[in-house]
């Protein structure tokens, strides 16, 4: 698998994806091509049971866009937009648990990428998160207006976006934007362990839960209930469900296989 700005490895059943596109891990043709390649790899059966997204650049997760490239907007740049939106949608819909390790600033499109993950952990210190596009006279355009609102509610999301606020780690935790604030030196190891523990769960059931939740959020309560009923009929007959029930009745730890 050839990658130019992303690094990829599988450790303890966790696909570790590191962004390495200085100076700001900006979205662009190379970034999107690599992300699409990684998404294709993650779609292969047995490739990984969880994913961890982080950055190889110290003190920076991603700023999303290189502002210097936005002075002149042409069709080639606009053509990247639907590609980026589709890639982030695919990442959010991955049928495995996803974790983001925010080792530094996660702003604009970078934070929109982080919002596609199931869990976000941030390093204590000077990192900031937010969608400050309004300060440039722009709007979040990679799903941020929707995902942020789903996460924190309309009023809080509008406040954050209208003011272009950039929150410190503890403020982000209080607002519900991150799962926990961790020491910078232990952030990666904690996130890898967290993802690995999720990978040992019944990931087939996790995929079904994610599908029901995402359909409900996007299409409403009734469609969410329909999806829940659909995946329940599939899940209840799967190998992991049998193993979980047998293990409970036999008073032993289950050995889940992810299906």
Give catalytic residues, as residue numbers: 112, 133
The three state secondary structure string of the chain is CCCCCEEEEEECCEEEEEECCCCCCCCCHHHHHHHHHHHHHHCCCCCCCEEEEEECCCCEEECCCCHHHHCCCCHHHHHHHHHHHHHHHHHHCCCCCEEEEECCEEECHHHHHHHCCCEEEEECCCCCEECCHHHHCCCCCCCHHHHHHHHHCHHHHHHHHHHCCCECHHHHHHHCCCCEEECHHHHHHHHHHHHHHHHCCCHHHHHHHHHHHHHHHHHCHHHHHHHHHHHHHHHCCCHHHHHHHHHHHCCCCCCCCCC
């Amino acid at each position: 698998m050839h990658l130019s700005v992303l690094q990829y490895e599988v450790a303890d059943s966790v696909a570790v994806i590191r962004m390495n596109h200085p100076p700001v891990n900006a979205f662009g043709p190379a970034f999107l091509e690599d992300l699409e390649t990684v998404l294709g790899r993650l779609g292969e059966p047995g490739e990984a049971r969880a994913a961890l997204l982080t950055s190889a650049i110290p003190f920076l997760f991603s700023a999303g866009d290189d502002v210097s490239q936005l002075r002149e907007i042409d069709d080639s740049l606009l053509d990247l937009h639907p590609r980026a939106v589709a890639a982030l949608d695919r990442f959010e819909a991955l049928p495995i648990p996803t974790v983001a390790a925010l080792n530094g600033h996660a702003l604009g499109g970078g934070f929109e990428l982080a919002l596609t993950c199931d869990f976000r952990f941030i390093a204590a210190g000077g990192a900031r998160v937010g969608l400050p596009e309004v300060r440039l006279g722009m709007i979040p355009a990679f799903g941020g207006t929707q995902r942020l609102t789903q996460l924190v509610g309309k009023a809080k999301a509008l406040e954050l976006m209208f003011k272009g606020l950039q929150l410190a780690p503890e403020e982000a935790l209080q607002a519900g934007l991150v799962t926990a604030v961790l020491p910078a030196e232990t952030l990666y190891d904690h996130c890898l362990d967290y993802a690995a523990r999720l990978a040992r769960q019944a990931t087939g059931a996790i995929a079904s839960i994610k599908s029901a939740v995402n359909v409900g959020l996007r299409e409403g309560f009734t469609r969410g209930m329909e999806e829940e009923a659909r995946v329940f009929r599939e899940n209840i007959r799967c190998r992991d469900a049998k193993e979980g029930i047998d293990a409970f009745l036999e008073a032993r730890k289950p050995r889940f296989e992810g299906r």
